[in-house]
């Protein structure tokens, strides 16, 4: 497996941008998350990677690490903060989608799972938000 991921190769494999529609709250949050990540030194590789197992909002590089990023936004914390939506079931789906991404792209970088949350418009980056109990994701 190659030890790096070239963004143009990955971008050629996906294109899920919807043209001509008003952005949803989720799309706006993902755009804001991309700006936050770029400002933190990340390189955005892909957005909205879809598989049968689920979707990864953002795939990015942070140095020599491939980062799968989930974005969650809440206008109020009445029903819990946005990070509570990344429960064990969501984590399993993200790991399965990450496995699919790695298999399809041949990317062999070490991986990490981050979460970007927005509560009442305020962003927060949760680096290494959870660990994947999947040795296949760590065989770099």
- Return the CATH number at 122: 3.40.1350.10
DSSP 87: -
Q: How confident is the model at residue 33 (pLDDT cuts 50, 70, 90)?
A: very high
Q: What is the mean pLDDT of the chain?
A: 79
What confidence score (pLDDT) does residue 136 get? Answer: 56
**pLDDT attached to residue 28:** 86
Q: Report the candidate in 62, 71, 60 with the shortest Cα–Cα distance to residue 25.
A: 71
Residue 11 has pLDDT above 70, yes or no: no
pLDDT average, residue stretch 102-126: 90
Instruction: Give pLDDT tens digits for 50-62.
Output: 988 889 999 999 9
68: domain range? 25-138
Query: 0.85 exceeded by the pTM?
Result: no
- The answer to whether residue 16 sits within a structural domain is no
Phi, psi dihedrals of residue 131, rounded to the nearest 5°: -105, 145
- Residue 54 has a pLDDT of 87
DSSP 83: G
Is residue 19 in some structural domain?
no
Percentage of the chain modeled with pLDDT above 90: 46
The tally of CA atoms less than 13 A away on the side-chain side of residue 94 is 26
Domain count, the chain: 1
Assess contact for 123 and 32: CB atoms under 8 A.
Answer: yes
Per-residue pLDDT at 3? 47
Q: What's the token pair of residue 34?
A: 């991309």
């Amino acid at each position: 497996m190659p030890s790096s991921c070239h963004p143009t190769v990955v971008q050629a494999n996906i294109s899920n941008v919807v043209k001509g529609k008003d952005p949803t709250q989720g799309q706006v949050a993902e755009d804001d998350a991309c700006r936050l990540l770029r400002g933190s030194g990340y390189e955005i590789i892909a957005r909205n990677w879809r598989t049968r197992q689920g979707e990864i909002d953002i795939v990015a590089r942070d140095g020599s690490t491939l980062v799968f990023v989930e974005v969650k936004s809440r206008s109020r914390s009445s029903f819990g903060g946005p990070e509570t939506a990344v429960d064990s079931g969501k984590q399993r789906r993200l790991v399965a989608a990450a496995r699919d991404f790695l298999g399809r792209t041949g990317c062999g970088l070490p991986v990490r799972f981050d979460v970007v949350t927005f509560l009442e418009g305020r962003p927060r980056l949760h680096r290494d938000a959870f660990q994947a109990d999947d040795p296949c994701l760590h065989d770099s």
